[in-house]
């Protein structure tokens, strides 16, 4: 037995690829895989099964259509590609992108310094990226989605069984998608297209929120952003602009006294807010105050509670009181 053969047999069904080139015959003899193509990148051929984990350094990994990996896949400085209808477990990359094809089944997927692209109809676990974009194809299903320093783009008919969180990256949700959790964004906007639904709340800081014939079942809150409830959209809770200096507390709204201009709450004709419209402004606020516009044909089933400095333009129906409040 050669030195390479001995090393592979000692791996206990785990393949580590660094500068070592592993021959197909060695893998087959070791019982690690029935068939594979190893000419530079690590490849599990279409329809084949690999029993074990794949750990690669500087060499890309490809799992071809219909193949199965009964173990995790991890790379450093290299990409991971999972072709259509393949099945894998946990997928993780450092300094490389991850691409999953249509109808792939996978566990949790994560990258650092790389993009993640999920194909249509895929069924996967959580998605987590740092310094890269996340794209979810039409009809896919995932659990929690989180990103730092990159956008999150979700297609049509997608189901997310958990919350979505972004820092420094836009969140876009296509038509007819379902988010069973909250949306939380910092320094970037959130937009939700027609017939989509968020079962939780939406919060942004320094980012606009746009609901285009979409439904949010709980509160919609922003600081230094605009909230647009467009025609055919509805909010089940309150719609809130909150600009408060809680720098000594633990609130997610904590901020310094370096105020910028506030935003606008707009409820268009045919838009519905089932709770209250609320504007809260810190007593030290020195920027342009928020504007609240309720267009003719819009409905607010609750009240309007707005700081006295806010500008109110109310032409639609408000079931409750319109109350001017003191500064926070």
Report the C-alpha gap between 261 and 225 in whole angstroms: 9
Assigned token pair, 59: 């060499």
Domain assignment present for 12:
no
- Would you write out the chain's pLDDT as a tens digit for each of its 328 residues? 554 444 444 443 444 433 333 333 335 335 544 333 333 589 999 999 999 999 999 999 999 999 999 999 999 999 999 999 999 999 999 999 999 999 999 999 999 999 999 999 999 999 999 999 999 999 999 999 999 999 999 999 999 999 999 999 999 999 999 999 999 999 999 999 999 999 999 999 989 999 999 999 999 999 889 999 999 999 999 999 998 876 554 443 444 444 456 799 999 999 999 999 999 998 888 888 999 999 999 999 999 999 999 999 999 999 999 999 886 5
Look up the pTM and report it: 0.85
- Total count of domains within the chain: 1
203 touches 181 (CB < 8 A)? no
Domain assignment present for 304:
yes
Q: Checking DSSP bridges between strand 272-273 and strand 234-235, what pairing results, if any?
A: parallel
Domain assignment present for 124:
yes
Range of the domain at 189: 45-325
Nearest to 62 by CA among 21, 32, 96, 30: 96
Domain assignment present for 315:
yes
Domain assignment present for 236:
yes
174 touches 155 (CB < 8 A)? yes
Domain assignment present for 53:
yes
Domain assignment present for 2:
no
Domain assignment present for 10:
no
155 touches 192 (CB < 8 A)? no
């Amino acid at each position: 037995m050669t030195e390479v053969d001995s090393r592979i047999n000692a791996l206990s069904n785990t393949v580590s690829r660094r500068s070592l080139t592993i021959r197909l015959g060695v893998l087959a003899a070791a019982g690690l895989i029935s068939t594979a193509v190893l000419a530079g990148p690590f490849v599990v051929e279409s329809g084949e099964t690999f029993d074990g984990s794949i750990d690669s350094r500087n060499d890309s990994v490809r799992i071809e259509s219909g193949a199965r990996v009964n173990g995790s896949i991890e790379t450093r400085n290299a990409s991971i590609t999972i072709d259509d209808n393949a099945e894998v477990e946990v997928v993780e990359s450092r300094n490389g992108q991850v691409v999953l094809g249509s109808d792939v089944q996978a566990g949790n997927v994560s990258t650092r310094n790389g993009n993640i692209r999920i194909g249509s109809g895929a069924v996967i676990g959580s998605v987590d990226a740092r310094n890269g974009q996340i794209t979810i194809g039409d009809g896919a299903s995932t659990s929690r989605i989180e990103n730092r320093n990159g956008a999150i783009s979700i297609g049509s008919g997608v189901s997310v069984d958990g919350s979505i969180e972004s820092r420094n990256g836009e969140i876009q949700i296509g038509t007819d998608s379902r988010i069973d959790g909250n949306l939380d964004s910092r320094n970037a906007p959130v937009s939700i297209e027609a017939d989509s639904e968020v079962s939780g709340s939406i919060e942004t800081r320094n980012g606009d929120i746009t609901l285009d014939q979409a439904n949010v079942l709980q509160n919609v809150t922003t600081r230094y952003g605009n909230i647009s409830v467009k025609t055919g959209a509805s909010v089940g809770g309150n719609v809130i602009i909150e600009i408060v200096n809680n720098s000594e507390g633990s609130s997610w709204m904590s901020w310094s006294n370096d105020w910028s201009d506030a935003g606008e709450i707009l409820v268009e004709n045919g838009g519905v807010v089932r709770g209250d419209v609320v504007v809260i402004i810190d007593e030290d606020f020195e920027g342009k105050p928020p504007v609240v516009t309720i267009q003719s044909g819009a409905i607010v089933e609750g009240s309007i509670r707005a700081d006295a400095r806010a500008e109110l333009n109310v032409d639609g129906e408000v079931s409750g009181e319109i109350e001017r409040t003191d500064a926070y």
